[in-house]
Amino acid sequence: MYLLAIHGSPRKNGNTEILLDAFLNGVNQHFIVEKIRLSELNYQPCLECGKCEKQGTCILQDDFQLLYEKILKADFLVIATPVFFYNHTSYVQAFFERFQVFWVRKYLLKLPHPFNKQPKGILLSLGATKGAKIFEATIRSFKYVLDTIYGKYVGGLFFRNIEKKGEILNYPEYLEKAKNLGIQIATLPEEKWEL
């Protein structure tokens, strides 16, 4: 199994990265894992040029080109993002927009998944406030994004009230939960995952 983990915060070693690393600790011995920090890539949002509608590939020659094949090979796609203004970060938004080519391939060009996969999507997110709806926009967006690659959103872990860099370390139970989820997805059937 190949798991592609996307880190969407601009803050290196911040709360979402610590959370993601705890999760990956649980997965690591079992799956092939690749972690990508979006803030280290040079890529653009979708320019709506429409070229993909003819050729089924994206013409933007930037670092995202490295990701297309990884995304299509993934059995699991994990997004770790802090909440920024009731949504995911701009890095994640630009990443999501580049799935337009997959939307075109599926819905306009009627192409099947090239590797016949149905990737499972997992979201790891946190925010500084206690707002009841702070994760809603990202969940909705991620579901729609996953659909373009014949994938399915299976759930996530969400933590509130975490703001300062590294503050999540004050909550070892959250990190334990993330590590356990990693172990569960790698070793247990889906109905036993605590998402």
Ligand X SMILES: Cc1cc2nc3c(=O)[nH]c(=O)nc-3n(C[C@H](O)[C@H](O)[C@H](O)COP(=O)(O)O)c2cc1C
Minimal distance, residue 98 CB to ligand X, in Å: 21
Measured distance CA(77)–CA(94) in Å, rounded? 16
Written in H, E and C, the secondary structure of 47-64 is: CCCCCHHHHCCCCCCCCC
Minimum CB separation of residue 125 from ligand X in Å reads 8
The interaxial angle of helices 90-97 and 136-148, nearest 10 deg, is: 20
Smallest separation (angstroms) from ligand X to the CB of 8: 8
Which residues ranging from 108 to 147 are in contact with ligand X (CB under 6 A)? 126-129, 131, 134
Of 4, 5, 14, 64, the one binding ligand X by CB under 6 A: 14
Q: Residue 39, interface with ligand X (CB under 6 A)?
A: no
Locate 184 and state its tokens: 């569960």
Q: In this chain, which stretch among 45-53, 98-106, 150-158, 159-167 interacts with ligand X, using CB under 6 A? A: 159-167
Is there binding between residue 68 and ligand X (CB under 6 A)? no
Query: How many other CB atoms are found less than 10 A from the CB of residue 66?
Result: 11
DSSP bridge partners of 43: none
Q: How far is the CB of 188 from ligand X (least distance, A)?
A: 27
Considering beta carbons, is residue 58 or 83 the nearer one to ligand X?
A: 83
What are the CB-based long-range contacts (under 8 Å, 24+) for 189-195? 190/120, 190/154, 193/154, 193/155, 195/122, 195/154, 195/155, 195/156, 195/157
Query: Rule CB under 6 A: is residue 156 a binding residue for ligand X?
Result: no
Q: Rule CB under 6 A: say whether 100 interacts with ligand X.
A: no
Q: What does the binding site for ligand X look like in residue numbers (CB under 6 A)?
A: 9, 11, 14-17, 82-86, 126-129, 131, 134, 162-163, 165
